[in-house]
Amino acid sequence: MLRAFIALEIPGEIQEAIAHSLSQLQKDLPKPLIRWVASKNVHLTLKFLGDVPPANLESLAAALAEETRNHAAFSFSVGGLGAFPSPQKARVIWVGLQAPPALIALADSIDTIAARLGFTAEDRPFSPHLTIGRVSHNVSGNDFHHIRTVLDGSTIGILGTVQVDALIIFKSVLLSGGPVYSRLYTLPMKLS
């Protein structure tokens, strides 16, 4: 079994810009309160697959390769700061992006194809974001208040533009020092 997900890569210069923009936030909200994502691991998840037999992953990659050839390359801007489900009860802290219709269409087609091949369909609408931190499970009401206060006092402007020309299926290996991601499949998109 391979733990896998489908994502778009974020260029190193934008990952570095995110890390630079978060330096004060990370001082104000240190570990273990927040488990911060290593900047090299910041990506845009389109679909989490979980543990998948290699043969099923190969079938999915083949079906997605056909689909991605029908999607033209596109771009989006990265910037903004927020939390899910809300700043008052933050569980995930994210950097936002300006999602073009092409991104939403790509995510929808991925979910449709994956569901056709037996993967669980998403039960929520796609909400594009870059996860930068996860709130620990054992936080108190005071901790939530502190997180909200820090987030309310923080902003992240536009950090750059991502050019999307391929879809990536990643393998994720969970280690004590954090996850390690490696490419399994690179699925090129139609170039304009």
Residue 190 has pLDDT above 90, yes or no: no
Q: Which residue has the tokens 């009401």?
A: 141
- Report cis status (omega within 30 of 0) of the bond before 32: yes
2-188 folds as: Cyclic Phosphodiesterase; Chain: A, (3.90.1140)
Whether residue 177 is predicted with pLDDT greater than 90 in this model: the reply is no
- Find the mean pLDDT for residues 100-123: 95
pLDDT of residue 18 exceeding 70:
yes
Nearest 10 degrees: Cα torsion 141, 142, 143, 147: 100
Mean pLDDT of the chain, nearest integer: 95
- Give the per-residue pLDDT at 192: 63
**pLDDT score for 130:** 98
Instruction: Give the residue extent of every domain in the chain.
Output: 2-188
Average pLDDT over residues 115-124: 93
What is the predicted pLDDT for the residue at 176?
Answer: 86
What six digits make up the tokens of 1? Answer: 């079994």
What one-character-per-residue DSSP string does 122-179 give?
PSS-----EEEEEE-TT--HHHHHHHHHHHHT------EEEEE-EEEEEEEEEETTEE
Q: Which residues are catalytic?
A: 43, 129
Which among 90, 98, 122, 91 is positioned nearest to 44, based on CA atoms?
98
